[in-house]
Amino acid sequence: MKKLLSILLLAAISVSVFTGCAKSGAASSAAAASTAQSTAAAKKIVIGASPTPHAIILKEAAKLLKEKGYDLEIREFSDYVLPNTALESKDLDANYFQHQPYLDEFNKENGTKIVSAGSIHYEPFGIYAGKTKALADLKDGATIAVPNDTSNEARALLLLQDQGLIKLKDGTGITATQKDIAENPKNLKFTEIEAAQLVRTLPDVDLAVINGNYALEGSLKVTDALAVEANDSLAAATYANIIAVREGDESREDIKALIEVLKSDEIKTFITNTFNGAVVPVK
């Protein structure tokens, strides 16, 4: 009888130990799974971008980021406001569509704290023909469409000045507005249009000064332009397109990996070969 009780007690202890080990093992497995999921989530970078050329460049960069252990999720935006509001609200980790003067203006107007993590490329602004097919044929009182946001309108005015069509007040630079036009010998009229709509206005105006990305989206080539910004112009040095992040996130490892890939020789070559001068990688 005593022997039977001993056997039953030993069996009970064995079951208890086995059950405890099983629970411990299950807990360890659950913890490991949770850690793995957390790690996977941390390695995904969500970035907002204009469709052209930014999203195209990012799709190529995604291949290189994959090799570094990061998945790049690209969300496309068709305007210049939502990518920043989505970034500020933490729906995005970064965005790629704007230059520093535009970002500075956006921060000032909206009280946001978005910063540049790195400059990637430059898109030459161009003057494109509408009803008037050559700059020399521009008549008195002709209408020119320009972007309606402050930073890009200044850029358009600087390009028009470079072509001798207007003259801005001395000392006027990237903050120029129509009020800074000192000389307008042809009495040109300026129509302010949302940048994304400029290509569509071409049939209704004599000329339009168009952002590089929207010209590309509208199937315009840089070679179609009647004039473009010079690579050594004030604009070229000022209006490089950037990767924007929330202040403090520029030192994150995933963001640094993104910048490293976008500045790599592979991506610079891709940009040069794909866009034929309409998009120029930053050195």
> Rounded distance, CA 210 to CA 221, Å?
11
Give the pLDDT confidence score for residue 237 in this predicted structure.
78
Cβ atoms of 70 and 122 within 8 Å: the answer is: no
Beta carbons within 10 angstroms of residue 67's beta carbon: 8
Q: What DSSP assignment string belongs to 136-149?
A: GGPPTT-EEEEESS
How does pLDDT run across 200-238, given as a tens digit for each residue? 999 999 999 998 889 988 999 898 999 999 877 777 778
Q: Reply yes or no on domain 43-123+239-281 having CATH 3.40.50.300.
A: no
Cβ atoms of 126 and 225 within 8 Å: the answer is: yes
| Spans of the chain below 50 pLDDT | 1-42
DSSP letter, residue 125? -
Which residues is 115 bridged to in the sheet?
245
Give the pLDDT confidence score for residue 7 in this predicted structure.
41
Give the pLDDT confidence score for residue 236 in this predicted structure.
77
Q: Please indicate whether the domains covering 43-123+239-281 and 126-230 agree at the CATH topology level.
A: yes
Q: What are phi and psi of 117, to 5 degrees?
A: -100, -10
Give the pLDDT confidence score for residue 150 in this predicted structure.
87
> Rounded distance, CA 52 to CA 124, Å?
14
Domain regions of the chain by residue span: 43-123+239-281, 126-230
Give the pLDDT confidence score for residue 173 in this predicted structure.
85
The correct CATH number of 126-230 out of 3.20.20.70, 3.40.630.30, 3.40.190.10, 3.40.50.150 is: 3.40.190.10
pTM for the model stands at 0.72
Long-range CB contacts for residues 103-112, cutoff 8 Å, separation at least 24: 103/242, 103/244, 104/151, 105/149, 105/150, 105/151, 106/81, 110/84, 110/85, 112/84, 112/88
